[in-house]
Copies of this chain bind each other. A is one copy, B any other.
Amino acid sequence: MTIDKTIDLAEITGAFRDLQDRICSELETLDGSGTRFLEDKWERHGGGGGRTRVFPGGTVMEKGGVNFSHVHGPMPKNISAKLGFEAGQYFHATGVSIVIHPFHPLVPIIHMNVRYFEIENGTHWFGGGIDVTPAYVFRDQAVRFHRLMKDVCDESDPGYYLKFKEWADRYFYLNHRKETRGIGGIFFDHLKDEKAKNWEFVKRVGNSFVPAYTDLVNTNRDKPFGEKEKSWQLLRRSRYVEFNLVYDKGTKFGLDTDGRTESILMSMPPIARWEYNYQPEVGSKEAETLSLLKPVNWLEL
């Protein structure tokens, strides 16, 4: 088996860098405050590195990270053991990873990731997805977001949306809370076959991020809110912390393999709150949101 060279690594890393550039620029416009992303370039000891871009707080976005990385070299033992490959083989891993924490409690947290992995033995795959974590779930917005994800999927494969939507429901699940992280989205990994088709798919996922988030931001950014909504948002952010530190495979992989901690943990919220055994009032918006933190067939397929 050899690597399918019809799409070479340079094309993929180039497209990912370009995606990072475009998304940062479009998010700055969406935020509208004139605040710019700050960039930290970093190098990996064993080969490669990345461009971490962090948004220090503007009008919409309180804290955001849009990271590009391309790391490569002989596969360290701790990585190969986790992936089930022989150590020492030359590998490349590249991707763009985004988490945005908004100020406004009615604007959801959003996460996007697209990634590509290749090993000299010929194994290569794509992974990624987009998912949304609102402090307050609005059904119509969830439906619109999932409709967009379905359109993005359908253009590549009519079987993708349902498969990747259910994968997200399983993946973004806090077993100790018995709740999903949010309204889900799509998640996929180890897409090994049909490289050309899946590369087009991954690019489309990347390009759908800004339109998806723009709708969620602009629908909610001017709605009034008070202390109650803000307090609930901070509480819900603590579940985001719990998911990322307890379950998220990317975070664990990064921390276990001595990745750049500040880039990995850019996903953490600016402020989070824990309150012992908080139970929202029966019939409240907060209780309604909790009741929707389970796999929901938003598009009634």
Contact = CB atoms under 8 A, between A and B. Distances in A.
A245 B255 contact: no
Interface stretch (A81-89, A194-202, A264-272): A264-272
Contacts of A157: none
A115 interface: no
A272 B270 contact: no
Interface string A269-286: 111111111000000000
A246 interface: yes
Q: How many copies does the complex hold?
A: 2
B40 A261 contact: no
A176 B255 contact: yes
A229 B54 CA distance: 24
Interface stretch (A17-25, A127-135, A144-152, A234-242): A234-242
Interface in A29-58: 40, 54, 56
Interface in A215-256: 234, 238, 241-242, 245-246, 255
A63 to B, nearest CB: 7
A42 to B, nearest CB: 10
Contacts of A40: 277
A5 interface: no
Interface in A96-122: none
12 contacts: A40-B277, A65-B276, A175-B255, A176-B255, A176-B261, A176-B264, A241-B245, A262-B277, A265-B274, A270-B275, A271-B273, A272-B274
Given A175-B255, A234-B271, A246-B255, 7 more contacts: A56-B276, A176-B264, A241-B272, A265-B274, A266-B276, A270-B274, A271-B271
